[in-house]
């Protein structure tokens, strides 16, 4: 039975205009270039996980077989964006049995303005994402393979009651739950105790703990606060510095491989998708974090979100 990763979360279409300046309220700014990209933290993480799922060469062939299966649980609208997203997931080999088409709400859309300094301004219409229901989650988890190598990966772009329900149900089924608490928002403390691992970035760690994370010492303090809330394992991502792993038995900084970054969009999503795959494969947490750092370091050398996610052979080709 292959290890199994179930990603539960959002799917959006990002519409980006890059121009000289962002408009002030009431102002229209002419000029700039337009790009449309598939996005949403859930979808980005599902694509990363699918591309990084272990593959083994088939005897006598150049083809490879996927040994980790990735399922995505999400809600899209009955519109062109929803249909494009579903086709994209299928092309990536993601199981879409639990990607539901909502009859009433449109697909999620993010309108992003970026000025010449890289400053941005984002408005998100969650649309169908806001209707991801406990019933959908319940059906998906009932169909999932319940083993302790099964990993359920969630973020907070979906309704919080649905996310909390998914965490409780997955934990009760003996699965390992990884929560990327982005964007950060308050959670029921009892839910935190059901997590295997939480993966905030520095900003999210501060919002969750009140501790400003600037270095290893403050990362350790924030991680301890999360342990006190009942989370056994904490990874705080630190951008170009790598990631800080803290378990109940010890803590260490895992350095990011040095690269020339061109676009860090969705680096965190790549990191989380990779981490989920490595944990589902049975890798130790230090090895899983090192694997995730390698994968995310490749993603930042490329433009875009889902298109920047590396494939497994690219990560395996990097030195240990």
Closer by beta carbon to ligand ATP, 173 or else 241:
241
Vertex 302, ends 296 and 307: CA angle to 5°?
85
User: Mask 191-230, x = binds ligand ATP (CB under 6 A)?
Assistant: ----------x-----------------------------
**316 annotated active-site:** no
Catalytic option among 14, 79, 102, 269? 269
Instruction: CB nearer to ligand ATP: give 108 or 310.
Output: 310
Pairing mode, strands 99-102 and 108-114 = unpaired
The one among 135, 143, 160, 240 contacting ligand ATP by CB under 6 A: 240
Residue 291 within binding range of ligand ATP, rule CB under 6 A: no
- Contacts of 269 by beta carbon, 8 Å cutoff, 6+ apart: 41, 44, 45, 48, 180, 305
Within 139-158, the residues that bind ligand ATP by CB under 6 A are: none
**Closest distance between ligand ATP and the C-beta of residue 201, in Å?**
4
Which of 272, 265, 283 shows the shortest CA–CA distance to 180?
Answer: 272
Kindly state whether residue 246 participates in binding ligand ATP, applying the rule CB under 6 A.
no
| Helices assigned H by DSSP within 67-133 | 80-91
Please, are residues 29 and 23 in contact by the beta-carbon 8 Å criterion?
yes
Return the range that interacts with ligand ATP (CB under 6 A); candidates 86-94, 167-175, 259-267, 279-287.
259-267
Q: Which of 141, 191, 300, 309 binds ligand ATP (CB under 6 A)?
A: 300
4-8: strand order across its sheet: 99-102, 69-77, 4-8, 151-154, 176-179, 197-198, 234-237, 242-247, 250-255
Active site residues: 269
């Amino acid at each position: 039975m292959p290890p199994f990763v179930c990603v539960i979360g959002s799917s959006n279409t990002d519409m980006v205009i890059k121009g000289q300046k962002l408009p002030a309220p009431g102002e229209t700014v002419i000029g700039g270039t337009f790009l449309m990209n598939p996005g949403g933290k859930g979808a980005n993480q599902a694509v990363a996980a699918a591309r990084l799922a272990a593959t083994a060469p088939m005897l006598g062939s150049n083809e490879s077989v996927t040994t980790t299966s990735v399922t995505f649980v999400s809600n899209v609208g009955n519109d062109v964006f929803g249909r494009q997203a579903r086709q994209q997931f299928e092309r990536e080999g993601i199981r879409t049995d639990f990607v539901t088409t909502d009859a009433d709400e449109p697909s999620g859309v993010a309108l992003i303005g970026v000025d010449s300094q890289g400053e941005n301004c984002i408005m998100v219409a969650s649309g169908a994402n806001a209707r991801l229901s406990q019933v959908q989650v319940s059906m998906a988890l009932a169909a999932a393979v319940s083993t302790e190598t099964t990993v359920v990966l969630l973020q907070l772009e979906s309704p919080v009651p649905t996310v909390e329900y998914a965490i409780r149900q997955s934990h009760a089924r003996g699965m390992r739950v990884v929560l990327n608490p982005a964007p950060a928002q308050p959670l029921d403390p009892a839910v935190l105790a059901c997590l295997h691992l939480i993966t905030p970035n520095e900003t999210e760690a501060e919002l969750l703990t009140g501790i400003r994370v600037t270095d290893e010492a403050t990362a350790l303090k924030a991680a301890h606060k999360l342990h006190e809330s009942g989370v056994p394992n904490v990874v705080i991502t630190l951008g170009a510095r790598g990631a800080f792993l803290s378990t109940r038995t010890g803590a260490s900084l895992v350095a990011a491989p040095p690269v020339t970054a061109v676009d860090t969009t969705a680096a965190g999503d790549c990191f989380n998708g990779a981490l989920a795959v490595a944990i589902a494969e049975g890798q130790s947490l230090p090895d899983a974090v090192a694997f995730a750092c390698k994968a995310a370091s490749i993603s930042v050398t490329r433009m875009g979100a889902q298109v920047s996610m590396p494939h497994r052979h690219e990560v395996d080709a990097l030195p240990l």
